[in-house]
Amino acid sequence: MMDEHPGVAGFRFSGISAGIKASGDLDLALLAAEEESPAAAVFTANRVRAAPVEIARARIASGRAQAVLVNSGNANACTGREGERAAKRTTAAVADAIGAPRRLVLPASTGVIGRPLPAALIEAAVPALVARLAADGAGRFARAIMTTDRWPKMAAVEVDVGGARATVLGIAKGAGMIHPDLATTLAFVVTDASVGRGGLARALRGAVDETFNALTVDGETSTNDTIVAMASGRVGGRRIRRGSAAAVRFAGALRDVLGQLGRSIVRDGEGARTVVTLHVVGASSDRAARKVARRVAGSLLVKTAIHGRDPNWGRVLSAAGCAGVSFEPSESSLAIGDVTVMKRGTAVPGAEAAAAAVMVADEFPVELRIGRGPGSARYLFCDVGHDYVTVNADYRT
């Protein structure tokens, strides 16, 4: 993960402390395009949606946006009509300050649920926030959207699109409450590629499905999860056409950026010390494999075994058995790194010591075979240890 980035043509970034967090840390961020731009977004699948999610969803239906105002320290979720008014007031202040139509400024919030958003504090901070906008301000933006994150999360990829060299820059926050269901966490992607709203939306949905929708920290889906992508087109050249080689390369770049951000989020799972890449193979379909992967990656017993560096393959198989997918344990096998610890549903004698040695690493793969079918899935997850409990039992105190 990079700490700073020179930026992407057509965008400026800002991050300041508005006093939302009692700590005085950065807590207000702004991403602004020079002009109205094609934009796409995916949002949380939670039925309880924060006010900023409702407003951003309605506004981005146009496929256009110019700026995103993000605060940390307060989710503005479960705050009723007052919360909606707060999101509208604060984004209106930004729109007026940068000279953009109000409908083109999207709100996003992250933090504690159910406390009123201090809208007056944010409005008062908008002039300073806008004054601080800079092409190379992505690092400050990234720090200002952090909550329990141990580090800011940025990733960038360059990609050749129709003769021009475009940049895709992504910025995300997330550590706990990370689990799929459409979007998860907050993430913002900007590019100078010349791509329309449809192309951007297709590339974003595909990339999210393969990255943010295939990872879990603790099985939670927040009220605020939002991923927004915007394209300035400033790199010039022909607009990326649907189905073209450039479209494929652009989608790949977007997937790489979200993949790097997702990996950083799992690594930063609250209290996590180990990242596991789980491969489920041999399922009857990809869908079945994904169901099994999701169940195993979400199992508290598996997560604590990983934390204890215990190659307890029985817990993995037992979790897989609860996924609602039919399979024969006698056709199953499990490898931790390159050590096969279970074959045909039973232990491989003497393999556990070697597997335990693999598990000392920060990151290792686990492959679970559940039959001979063609279906497979990949899933990223982390261990759950004492620090998770500490972080989440004492979050608000």
Residues of span 286-305 touching a second copy by CB under 8 A: 299-301, 304-305
Judged by CB under 8 A, does residue 322 bind a second copy? yes
Least distance to a second copy, CB of residue 270, Å:
10
CB atoms within 10 A of CB 339: 19
**Which residues lie closer than 8 Å to 234 by C-beta, 6 or more apart?**
8, 9, 10, 192
**Whole-number Å distance between alpha carbons of 275 and 263:** 8
Specify the 3-state DSSP secondary structure of 371: coil
Judged by CB under 8 A, does residue 47 bind a second copy? yes
- Span from 136-144, 184-192, 247-255, 311-319 in contact with a second copy (CB under 8 A): 311-319
**Whole-number Å distance between alpha carbons of 165 and 161:** 6
- Selecting among 90, 91, 110, 184, the annotated active-site residue is 184
- Which of 21, 143, 315, 369 is the binder for a second copy (CB under 8 A)? 315
Judged by CB under 8 A, does residue 75 bind a second copy? yes
Least distance to a second copy, CB of residue 99, Å:
34
- Which of 124, 150, 248, 326 is the binder for a second copy (CB under 8 A)? 326
315, two tokens: 């817990």
Angle between helices 119-131 and 80-98 (to 10 degrees): 20
Least distance to a second copy, CB of residue 267, Å:
19
> Counting beta carbons within 10 angstroms of the beta carbon of residue 329, is it exposed (0 to 12), middle (13 to 18) or buried (19 or more)?
middle
What counts of helices (H) and strands (E) characterise the chain? 11, 15
Closest CA relative to residue 116, chosen from 70, 68, 77? 77
- Which of 191, 232, 312, 333 is the binder for a second copy (CB under 8 A)? 312
Residues of span 181-240 touching a second copy by CB under 8 A: 181, 218-223
Q: Characterize the bridge pairing of strands 28-43 and 64-72.
A: antiparallel
CA 78, 84, 89, 92: dihedral to nearest 10 degrees? Answer: 120
Least distance to a second copy, CB of residue 221, Å:
5
Closer by beta carbon to a second copy, 62 or else 390: 390
| 230: β partners | 39, 190
CB 8 within 8 A of CB 166: no
Residues of span 99-158 touching a second copy by CB under 8 A: 112-116
Closer by beta carbon to a second copy, 94 or else 366: 366
Judged by CB under 8 A, does residue 345 bind a second copy? yes
Angle between helices 300-307 and 313-321 (to 10 degrees): 160
354, two tokens: 């070697």
**Whole-number Å distance between alpha carbons of 150 and 130:** 26
Least distance to a second copy, CB of residue 341, Å:
9
Judged by CB under 8 A, does residue 395 bind a second copy? yes
Least distance to a second copy, CB of residue 366, Å:
15
Specify the 3-state DSSP secondary structure of 92: helix
At residue 309, what is the residue type? R
Closer by beta carbon to a second copy, 100 or else 292: 292
CB atoms within 10 A of CB 309: 17
34, two tokens: 């020079």
Least distance to a second copy, CB of residue 27, Å:
18
Residue 184 designated active-site:
yes
The number of residues that bind a second copy (CB under 8 A) is 67
Which residues of 149-239 form beta strands (DSSP E)?
153-161, 164-173, 186-191, 215-216, 226-231
Per-residue contact string for residues 365-384; x = within reach of a second copy by CB under 8 A: -------------------x
Closer by beta carbon to a second copy, 195 or else 306: 306
- Which of 77, 154, 201, 293 is the binder for a second copy (CB under 8 A)? 77
Judged by CB under 8 A, does residue 37 bind a second copy? no
Least distance to a second copy, CB of residue 91, Å:
20
Residue ranges binding a second copy (CB under 8 A):
45-49, 75, 77-80, 82-83, 112-116, 176-177, 181, 218-223, 299-301, 304-305, 307-308, 310, 312-315, 317-323, 325-327, 329-330, 342, 344-347, 384-386, 388-390, 392-397
Q: Which residues are catalytic?
A: 184
